């Protein structure tokens, strides 16, 4: 098991992007876990636990429409082993038989999987030591095969935090200037108009605002040729409709923050659009993520402790060491020790550089 963990750790260091990492780890796992029929990887916003991208590798032939339905199901339906629920659980991992008390037929997601031959789902969340969820992995076997055994559970428990650390590290990489893929056009960064997608209750696109296609092209798993909306759009839309249909009180609209393959950081918001009949639906807004929106995600990515986050927030407000000490009821020396740790984790040497990281992305 140590050798496998080392292979995964090496992949986390060498992979150029998250999909490459997932692909290599899939090959490693399939070489040691018998009868893996299909694998599904997900990236997740650690704060909202909304799925932001999805990647499959295996033998199952899954139509694009079914993939859409399964992402919607993840955030709208009531079912066992939802990624958000596992992310909040103590173990962060569960098999379909375990979750259903030995009666997997009660899971509607499992029934949909059987349509394409996938069965025996085992899900594990990809969490760092701070218990922050950066993604998830689902393994499947063909119908009629035995459930995944304790050795597989132990292996996934070992490699999951290694993959999570790799994903967290990639979030901090400067992968581009935000202009990639625009075919020489001016960067979206120069535009103030967000993208807007209006979906009906069946999650079919009713309308889009001018320029929205350019925003959609920047989302991680956008594939217009497949005729499927990006995962992040479906996730926030399904979460918004679920909240409306269940009269769930929400402090804010469902939010997913995404790092684009071109290096930009985007935010997606979902909100219910009231109406009668075909007039009802969901609106999804796509825009550049403001520093305030990205701040919790970046502090998670840099693995700051709760008290270190308090110090950073006060520094971003322009507070001096003495003022921070007074606000937190600690000594100035303690503040300096926290700041020293923050500098080490973020790789900067001054408060000015620290502010640049969290407010301007430099």
pLDDT in tens, 279-308: 789 999 999 998 888 888 888 888 899 999
Q: Kindly report the CATH class assigned to 193-292.
A: alpha beta
Contacts of 332 (CB under 8 A, 6+ apart): 321, 322, 325
Distance CA 243, CA 222 (A): 25
Residue 57 β-bridge partners? 39
Digit-coded pLDDT (tens) for 7-51: 999 999 899 899 999 999 999 999 999 999 999 999 999 989 999
Averaged pLDDT, 170-179: 58
pLDDT at residue 296, rounded to an integer: 84
Domain ranges of the chain: 2-171, 193-292, 304-360
Q: How many other β-carbons are positioned within 10 Å of the β-carbon of residue 214? A: 15
Digit-coded pLDDT (tens) for 300-359: 888 899 999 999 999 999 999 999 999 999 999 999 999 999 999 998 999 999 998 887
Do domains 2-171 and 304-360 share one topology? The answer is no
**Helix pair 291-301, 306-316: axis angle to 10 deg:** 150
Beta strands in 161-221 (DSSP E): 195-200, 205-208
Mean per-residue pLDDT over the chain, rounded: 89
pLDDT at residue 131, rounded to an integer: 75
**Element (DSSP H or E) covering residue 325:** helix 321-328
- The CATH code of domain 2-171 reads 3.30.450.40
Q: Kindly report the CATH class assigned to 304-360.
A: mainly alpha
Asked whether residue 174 carries a pLDDT value surpassing 60, the answer given is: no
Global pTM reads 0.86
């Amino acid at each position: 098991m140590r050798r496998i963990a080392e292979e995964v750790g090496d992949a986390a260091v060498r992979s150029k992007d998250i999909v490459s990492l997932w692909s290599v780890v899939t090959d490693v796992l399939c070489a040691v876990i018998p009868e893996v029929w299909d694998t599904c990887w997900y990236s997740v916003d650690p704060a909202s636990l909304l799925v932001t991208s999805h990647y499959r590798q295996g033998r199952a032939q899954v139509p694009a429409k079914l993939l859409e339905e399964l992402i919607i199901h993840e955030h709208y339906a009531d079912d066992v082993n939802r990624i958000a629920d596992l992310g909040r659980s103590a173990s962060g991992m569960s098999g379909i038989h375990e979750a259903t008390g030995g009666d997997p037929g009660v899971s509607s997601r499992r029934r949909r999987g059987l349509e394409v031959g996938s069965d025996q789902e085992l899900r594990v969340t990809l969490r760092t030591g701070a218990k922050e969820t950066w993604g998830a992995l689902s393994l499947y076997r063909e119908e009629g095969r035995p459930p995944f055994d304790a050795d597989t559970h132990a292996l996934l428990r070992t490699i999951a935090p290694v993959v999570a650390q790799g994903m967290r590290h990639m979030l901090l990489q400067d992968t581009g200037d935000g202009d990639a893929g625009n075919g020489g056009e001016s960067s979206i960064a120069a535009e103030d108009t967000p993208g807007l997608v209006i979906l009906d209750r069946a999650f079919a696109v009713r309308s889009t605002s001018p320029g929205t296609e350019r925003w959609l092209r920047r989302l991680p798993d956008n594939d217009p040729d497949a005729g499927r909306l990006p995962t992040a759009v479906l996730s926030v839309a399904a979460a918004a409709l679920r909240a409306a249909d269940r009269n769930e009180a929400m402090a804010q609209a469902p939010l997913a923050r995404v790092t684009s393959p071109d290096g930009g950081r985007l935010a997606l918001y979902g909100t219910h659009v009231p109406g009668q009949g075909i007039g009802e639906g969901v609106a999804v807004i796509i825009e550049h993520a403001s520093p305030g929106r990205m701040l919790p995600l970046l502090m998670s990515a840099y693995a700051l402790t709760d008290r270190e986050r308090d110090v950073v927030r006060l520094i971003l407000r322009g507070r001096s060491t003495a003022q921070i000490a007074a606000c937190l009821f600690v000594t100035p020396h303690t503040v300096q020790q926290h700041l020293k740790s923050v500098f080490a984790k973020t790789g900067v040497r001054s408060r000015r550089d620290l502010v640049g990281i969290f407010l301007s992305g430099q």
